[in-house]
Amino acid sequence: MGPGRLWFTLGYGIVNEVYYPRVDIPQIRDLGFIVADGKGFWCEVKRLGNYSLELPASGIPAPTIVHRHERFELRLRIAPDPLRDVLLLDVSLNGDGELRPYVLLAPHLGGRGLDNTAAASRHYRHGVLWAEQGPFGLALAAADAGQGDALGRLSAGYVGFSDGWQDFAANGAMTWEYERAGPGNVALLGELERECVLGLGFGASRGAAASLAAAALARPFEEAWSKHVVAWRNWHADCHSRIRLATPDAALDRQFATSRMVLRCHMDKINPGAMVASLSVPWGDSRDDRGGYHLVWPRDLVECALSLLGVGGKDEARDILRYLIATQYQDGHWNQNQWLGGTPFWHGIQLDETAMPVLLAALLEEQGALGDIEVADMIRLALAFIIRNGPATDQDRWEEDRGINAFTLAVTIAALVAGAGFLPAAERSTALDVADDWNERIESWLFVRGSGLAERFGVAGHFLRMAPSDVCADPDAVRRVLPIRNLEKDPGLPYAEQVSTDFLQLVRFGLRAPGDPAVRDSLEVVDGLLRVDTPSGPAWRRYNHDGYGEHDDGSAFDGTGRGRAWPLLTGERGHYELLAGNDVAPYLRAMCSMAGRNGMLPEQVWDAGPLPEQHLVPGEPTGSAMPLAWTHAEFVKLLLSSQLGAAFDCPRAVRARYDAHSDTTVSACSVWSEMAPSCTWRAGRPLRIVAGYRAEVRWRDDRQNEPRYATTTESLPGVHSVLLPAAELPAGSALVFTLTRANGETPAEEHRIVASE
């Protein structure tokens, strides 16, 4: 809240990363404390493991942390300065009078720890520990109750050689006072008064940072603390005033407030509407890598936007939509992920990430919250990209394989239907024809009968995790092998033997009924393979033979490992149970129980036997990302959906078109496209031919030798199609056609498609 441009995270009772001036640039590795008597006794408090953390109220990020030892209590209160880029820490040491606190600071300016320069200085009124790297500077100062200097001896060293921790480890006391270190991986140490306030300032230089820190220390800590707390209380009150949500469970209320706060904290200030996936560093004890979590993912961003919309954050949701419009490519897609300014990081393409901004626009419009944002062009480009490239996606939502995936397919169908309402008639009919045709073909692409898994669990069949893109023309393609990534041993399973929870999105968007036999059979298989009943409640792994998570011995994911259970999948299952008419409360409570301290929801929880030495407890967070914004978004949406009695994030137009409890939805035509070259079409219907270019279609049926001709027209950007009057052909008839580009280019091949019952 306020104009300050910094974010901070906590771990083991100390400050971990501080991000400045954007939410994706961590400037320190951590800021912790040693308590020592100067006679050989010393204790690094983060290694004690005996601390408490309290907030003024749920959802207010103003922590009070108390570390307890038989000789002392170290109390920390943390809050940002309301006007400056300064983090304030109120430090109070109680107990043995011989003890003093020492602050340890590890700069990682610019997100790097290799080329920082650090120094200890007394050129200012306050002693200052500072560091610089490139365009960034930081400075740490301290003041006592009278605002005098509270920093005693100072030292700047190299990590692992001459840093303050090495000094205590070697000498049992602070004996080194080095004035300068770097460039390199540096660390700072400062001796403190027992009662003081620290100011950690950030700026474009060390001098700017020091001035900000000193200015922040010239006002009482209580004033900054109070303003910070009041600002957050007012924001939560504003949310409550815009929504009507009655939760009878106090634990759910606390988690609801916490999740709102987490989502709001992940928003950037320089790039309004941008959010990173997580402010944490997964397995940060063993890896110094921001990875993909400090990036914007269009999918995660929309998941969070819809949750903020649900809690009354219409302004935030609109800013997110504006950001998405600004970062869309001319061909209609978005980056797989990107830095806040729009620069791509990874270069994959995922169709659900092209579809989800369309759903955000549609849901804003439904709630009368779209305002004056013009979305028609964005939607036209996105839908055109989906039609030209679908139904197969280059990557599924887990950043992995190419093919047809149930989650991606459900989201793209929903986007085609919801987005069609923003289009003129000619464009609308093309989008709806494609959506209806894909919806009708879901089972032919993704449901397999007689697999080894079906026999094992005694069911007729099950939905696949992924089908190869050529399943459209060759149903036997599912028998081919889909390689497993990031697993220590690839079992070489065919597509037909791999399952995931992704098919639940078909029910969430109303494309299939909860009681559909294919859905019920798939639940049997998924629950048998992927469900884990933890002490916190049920959770699910992403898919069989997932390799993203800790190893079996508890060691950190290092490019290989074993996928663990994801709380957000508990939320997705809760949505299914809601739509099936069952009680949602167990799933909401399970998500609450899987949270870390003060409601931080993780990416994964431990799903094997306890490993105390690795701090891995069944049903509790692993070393994966925590908090994961998407998990918090899923909790919020499940709570909102439980109050609504329907999936909060399913657009009305999709529910209306595909009422999964009736058989009234009939496709107006069948569709053939070069990306989905179906081998059949439904007898009695016309056939729409779709291409990514203007073409002449030369076609005939097997009852005649005389060909007929038709020319495509552009109905959406780069989408050219024509309706062939094939409705009079009976089942079993074959239609043969070729496509010739408008420039006269010779057709690549002749296509044959057969009319089915």
Q: Which string of b and e fits 651-662 if b means at least 16 CB within 10 Å?
A: bebbbebbebee
**Superfamily of domain 670-756, CATH level 4:** Immunoglobulins (2.60.40.10)
- pLDDT at residue 666 in the model: 66
As given in the structure block, the two tokens for residue 228 are 């910070």
- What distance separates the 2 farthest-apart alpha carbons in the chain? 103
Average pLDDT over residues 506-519: 96
Contacts of 384 (CB under 8 A, 6+ apart): 332, 716, 717, 718, 719
Average pLDDT over residues 167-193: 96
Q: Which amino acid belongs to residue 388?
A: R
Q: What is the mean pLDDT of the chain?
A: 92
- pLDDT at residue 747 in the model: 64
- pLDDT at residue 597 in the model: 82
pLDDT higher than 90, residue 478: no
Give the pLDDT band of residue 285 (cuts 50, 70, 90): confident
DSSP assignment of 22-87: STT-B-EEEEEEEEE-SSS-EEEGGGT--EEEE-SSTT----EEEEEETTEEEEEEEEE-SSSSEE
Average pLDDT over residues 524-529: 97
pLDDT higher than 90, residue 323: yes
The three-state secondary structure class of 239 is helix
- pLDDT at residue 438 in the model: 96
- pLDDT at residue 694 in the model: 92
Alpha carbons 346 and 209: distance in angstroms, whole number: 33
- pLDDT at residue 665 in the model: 57
pLDDT higher than 70, residue 150: yes
**Top CATH class, 7-233:** mainly beta
As given in the structure block, the two tokens for residue 26 are 């961590």
- CA-based nearest residue to 695, from 744, 748, 749, 736: 744
Alpha carbons 314 and 364: distance in angstroms, whole number: 8
Per DSSP (E only), the strands in 81-135 are 86-95, 100-107, 116-121, 128-133
What kind of fold does domain 243-440 have according to CATH? Answer: Glycosyltransferase (1.50.10)
CA neighbours within 13 Å on the CB side: how many for 574?
Answer: 29
Q: Among the listed ranges 261-265, 511-515, 558-562, which one has the minimum average pLDDT value? A: 558-562
Query: What share of residues in the chain are helix, strand, coil (percent, to 5)?
Result: 30, 25, 40
Q: Which amino acid belongs to residue 41?
A: F
Residue 178 region, left (φ>0) first, then alpha (ψ -120 to 50), else beta?
beta
Domain limits, the chain? 7-233, 243-440, 670-756
Please name every residue paired with 672 in a beta bridge, in sequence order, or none if there are none. 689
CA neighbours within 13 Å on the CB side: how many for 254?
Answer: 18
Per DSSP (E only), the strands in 147-194 are 151-158, 180-184, 186-192
Give the pLDDT band of residue 749 (cuts 50, 70, 90): confident
Measured from the Cβ of residue 708, the count of other Cβ atoms closer than 10 Å reads: 13
Q: Which amino acid belongs to residue 663?
A: D
Alpha carbons 447 and 427: distance in angstroms, whole number: 31
Measured from the Cβ of residue 46, the count of other Cβ atoms closer than 10 Å reads: 18
- pLDDT at residue 664 in the model: 46
Average pLDDT over residues 559-585: 96
Please give the model's pTM, rounded to 2 decimal places: 0.94
pLDDT 10s digits, 370-409 = 999 999 999 999 999 999 999 999 999 999 889 999 999 9
The three-state secondary structure class of 514 is coil
